[in-house]
Chain A
Amino acid sequence: MSFASRVSRDPLFQAGLAILLLVTLIALAWRLYSPWTSKDMVGAPFQSPSIEHPLGTDDLGRDVMTLVSEGVFITLFVGLASAILIATIGLLVGVTAAVFRGLVDAILMRIVDFLLSIPSLVVALILVAILKPSIFNVILVIAIVGWPASARLVRAYTLSLMEAPYVEASRALGSSLTHIALRHLIPNMTPIVLGSILVGTRAAILLESGLSFLGLGDLERVSLGTILFYARRSAALISGAYWLIVFPGLLIMLIILALTLITLAIERNLKVKE
């Protein structure tokens, strides 16, 4: 069985995908249905959930459901975009290390090891503070702190690919390493790249929500973390507006859970030798 069919039959993967699809579809449906944007102040501040406003309103009288449905997309976008960046860097570094082995591998992997044990939040906070928050800087920063994990995964996978018969045959025939990398390795990377993107998305979303919660993300974009930042700024929990804190937080948790499940499914079907 191929990797993809194994993953797609894994119940964990199916459950994760179902949660993710459910969340995005509800959010999409609300965006199509609702007449408001996230900037419209449509009612009195701090209205509790009702039929008109299923998740109530915030401190400026904006519909929280609208904010959240937009936030889900922004959060996922930041997560996916940075994960794609992470996977790209990871692919390059990982394949390089695995193909050339020797000193290159040793140096790259020592750096990766080291970067992995520096708390990513600290580096991300410092970099965001210097680069100034905008959505693209946030993506860039997440990619900077996220690539080592991906590189390690890709390297391990590449090493197992290198042992495949056709690669060994090609090497025996005297093909250059670059040729092998381009011809045999990279094209067979799809599963690991997809896997790496999803794994990266999880970490990226957690980091993005954290940065936004602290008010260091792009505060113009309504992400789930940003909603929490503004809710906290207006003391929503104590003012009785629990819906402003509870629902966005729950949504982050759901999305992370879905991605965790998918990650698990991928990890246990990849069978990468460490």
Chain B
Amino acid sequence: MSGVKPLYGMILGFLIMFSIMAPMASISQKTPPPGLPEVLEFEMLSLPWFPQSDKAAEVVAEQLSKVGIKVKLVRLESAVMYPRIMRTFDYDSFALAVSQTPNPVGMLLAFHSSEARPGGSNYWGYVNAEVDSLIDKALTARSESELKEYAWRIQEIVSKGPFIPLFVSQNIQIIRAEWKNYTLMSGGIIEVYNRWSLLYMYKSDKPEENVFRIAFPADILSTNPFMATDLRSLWVINLLYDPLVALDPNFKVIPWLAERWEVRDDGKTYVFYLRKDVRFHDGKSLTADDVVFTFKVGIGNKTARFAALAQFVESVEKVDDYTVMFKLSKPSYLFLLSLATNLVYIVPRHVWIDKPIDWGNPEPIGTGPFKWHSRKPGESIVLVRNPDYFVKGVPRISTIVVRVIPEAETRFLAIKRGEVDMERYSALPTLVPEAQRDPNLRVIVTPDIWLVYIAFNFRRFNDTRLFEAINYAINREEVVKKAVLGYGSPVYTILNKEWYGDLANRNVFFEYNPQKAIQILESMGYKYDAGRGVMVYVGPPPTTPPATKAPTETPATTPATQTTTTPVRVTEAPNVAVIALILVIVVIAVIALYLLRRR
């Protein structure tokens, strides 16, 4: 019958394609010891919505391919990716960014074996008994110098682990030029640790003109000071509520709702004396009852941001109406810092006393510099100046309008057009030249909160030589240049100097050295398979004993490594197959039409 032949042709075409797609022969490969892969081929999960880490992952993948390590990026939405990383541990490796705080506790604990559980912060599953005990000691260090000693030692060990930091990005804020008097801190001018900018910023001497409009990429998720975990919600909560102690622009702890404190019992007791002139937005005074209530509820319900405090605090008691006493289970230099950096806000007891912990809090009442005005879900939030704020004369901004604008490009256009004054997070580096050309805009660059890293699953791969090789194979300068157009600084250890100052161990460093990476991998028993474009395990290195090998074979290994480095670029097999497949289909379709036409 007419038209049957082309269909046969199509089937034939498919068969040919499948035979092409059949795997090619490769060099003889052996089973490696547990904890090492047969082939240096890794899936790397990445979030397409976070360009910094996603582009970094792409650059790293290209760099690693030059030493015969194949990285296949798998881009997933956060709702799919986070559970795989944090709960089911179903991954080879991933690229992400971790937000930095002025407090090293979070970063250090992420390498403690007790956190290598579902829901813990040690996503990579790193386990090392020595590191565990060092972290325990660091947490109870009594002085900064003692803490530094442990922190440096931890960094030395951990830098050989599955967590491979790449860079700290820079926060690029594009703000309308008429705004004055903001405070520069690490994290940018309006990050939650920076309480100063929004108190003192203004653009006009007429109060009613000081309307500050800010664009958020998405709506806030919660106004509940106990439950909120995302930095958008916390930004709003931070303006509505106050902490007990705050941070000055150099990240030193200063009094805030507590006007002073005393340390007693060799560091086991802290007594906070509250300010007496603080009122909630509903007019009621702040007393010790509110503080005790807040901490009891927060710690008692194991909420995320109180959990870090819970490990220090044994009890919170009211001494009198304006005095609160904290009893610590373990005295620590880090307690006060944690109190300031964990974003714990004092809520009014009279409002929350009969509410569940996850109450929606539709019209928040706090002590903060701004009062809640209104909200249109998905669109906007309006806050107005609190005229009775206990810091006299501030804030100078009369109204804050938070607008939700989902697209980065649109946010920038809105700033350029003057529809908003700035945006919540860092602007895209690609926008900087355009912003600099505009006299109505200022570009403010500070270290950002994001540490971009890649991490491997230590539960699957636990030979640290592998990670060492990867460290040498990554050119961090190039990653910074390509992923964030140079707006970042390379980082080699888990604590960086932008946020932790002297706690960052400057001795930990990996120079870019792909040859060295290849040498390490070959000493582990891997060999480059030119056919597949990847290193495969072929068993322990050459039959010659290692002792004699080192001096004699040095010249011999060099050409060997050279041959392995040159042919690294091999077109990905499935790509070719797909394209060939299309060609076949197109050709067959054309032939089919041609045949039909003849009849």
Which residues does A use to contact B, with CB under 8 Å?
2-5, 7-8, 24, 28, 31, 37, 39-41, 45-46, 59-61, 70, 73-74, 76-77, 80, 132-133, 187-191, 194, 215, 219-221, 229, 232-241
Q: Is the CB of B148 closer than 8 A to any CB of chain A?
A: no
User: Which of the residues B7, B76, B597 comes within 8 Å of A5, measured between beta carbons?
Assistant: B597
Question: Are B431 and A238 in contact, CB atoms less than 8 angstroms apart?
Answer: yes
> In residues 144-196 of chain B, which contact A (Cβ within 8 Å)?
none
* Least distance between A74 CB and chain B CB atoms (Å): 7
Given contacts A5-B599, A31-B579, A220-B73, contact A238 B434 (CB under 8 A): yes
Question: Are A215 and B48 in contact, CB atoms less than 8 angstroms apart?
Answer: yes
> In residues 3-58 of chain B, which contact A (Cβ within 8 Å)?
3-4, 6-7, 48-49, 51, 55, 58
Question: Are B48 and A80 in contact, CB atoms less than 8 angstroms apart?
Answer: no
Q: Is the CB of B575 closer than 8 A to any CB of chain A?
A: yes
Query: Can you sample 23 A-B contacts with CB below 8 Å?
Result: A2-B599, A4-B599, A5-B597, A7-B593, A31-B579, A41-B62, A45-B482, A60-B59, A61-B482, A77-B579, A77-B581, A132-B76, A188-B1, A190-B6, A194-B593, A215-B49, A220-B75, A235-B409, A235-B412, A238-B413, A238-B431, A239-B428, A239-B430
Contact count A vs B, C-beta below 8 Å: 119
Question: Are B482 and A60 in contact, CB atoms less than 8 angstroms apart?
Answer: yes
* Least distance between A203 CB and chain B CB atoms (Å): 17
Q: Is the CB of B572 closer than 8 A to any CB of chain A?
A: yes
Complex Cα distance, B76 from A132, in Å, reads 8
Given contacts A4-B599, A190-B3, contact A236 B62 (CB under 8 A): no
Q: Is the CB of B592 closer than 8 A to any CB of chain A?
A: yes
Q: How large is the interface on B (under 10, 10 to 19, 20 to 34, 35 or more residues)?
A: 35 or more
Residue of B nearest to A129 (CB): B77
Q: CB-CB < 8 A to A61: which residues of B? A: 482
Complex Cα distance, B599 from A133, in Å, reads 44
Q: CB-CB < 8 A to A46: which residues of B? A: 430
Which residues does B use to contact A, with CB under 8 Å?
1-4, 6-7, 48-49, 51, 55, 58-59, 61-62, 72-76, 80, 407-409, 412-413, 428, 430-431, 433-434, 482, 485, 569, 571-572, 575, 578-579, 581-583, 585-586, 589, 592-593, 596-597, 599
Complex Cα distance, B3 from A188, in Å, reads 8
User: Which of the residues B72, B579, B596 comes within 8 Å of A73, measured between beta carbons?
Assistant: B579
Q: CB-CB < 8 A to B596: which residues of A? A: 2-5, 8, 190-191
Complex Cα distance, B589 from A8, in Å, reads 13
Question: Are B582 and A77 in contact, CB atoms less than 8 angstroms apart?
Answer: yes
* Least distance between A224 CB and chain B CB atoms (Å): 14
Residue of A nearest to B594 (CB): A8
Question: Are B4 and A194 in contact, CB atoms less than 8 angstroms apart?
Answer: no
* Least distance between A23 CB and chain B CB atoms (Å): 11
* Least distance between B93 CB and chain A CB atoms (Å): 15
Residue of B nearest to A8 (CB): B597
Residue of B nearest to A216 (CB): B77
Complex Cα distance, B576 from A74, in Å, reads 11
Given contacts A77-B578, A191-B3, contact A233 B599 (CB under 8 A): no
Given contacts A4-B597, A238-B409, contact A41 B482 (CB under 8 A): yes
Complex Cα distance, B3 from A194, in Å, reads 10
Question: Are B412 and A80 in contact, CB atoms less than 8 angstroms apart?
Answer: no
* Least distance between A272 CB and chain B CB atoms (Å): 17
Question: Are B434 and A240 in contact, CB atoms less than 8 angstroms apart?
Answer: yes
Known contacts A8-B596, A77-B585, A235-B428; 10 additional CB pairs below 8 A are A8-B597, A37-B572, A70-B575, A73-B578, A76-B582, A188-B1, A190-B4, A191-B596, A220-B75, A236-B430
- Looking at B51, B431, B582, the one whose CB has the most chain A CB atoms below 10 A away is B582
Given contacts A4-B599, A70-B575, A220-B75, contact A235 B431 (CB under 8 A): yes
Question: Are A60 and B55 in contact, CB atoms less than 8 angstroms apart?
Answer: yes
Closest 9 CB pairs of A and B: A190-B3, A4-B596, A187-B1, A219-B75, A239-B430, A235-B409, A8-B597, A77-B582, A73-B579
- Looking at B1, B76, B592, the one whose CB has the most chain A CB atoms below 10 A away is B1
Q: CB-CB < 8 A to A239: which residues of B? A: 428, 430-431, 433-434
Complex Cα distance, B593 from A3, in Å, reads 10
Question: Are A234 and B430 in contact, CB atoms less than 8 angstroms apart?
Answer: yes
* Least distance between B482 CB and chain A CB atoms (Å): 6
Complex Cα distance, B296 from A105, in Å, reads 67
Q: CB-CB < 8 A to B6: which residues of A? A: 190
Question: Are B434 and A59 in contact, CB atoms less than 8 angstroms apart?
Answer: no
Complex Cα distance, B51 from A73, in Å, reads 26
Question: Are A80 and B582 in contact, CB atoms less than 8 angstroms apart?
Answer: yes
* Least distance between A238 CB and chain B CB atoms (Å): 6
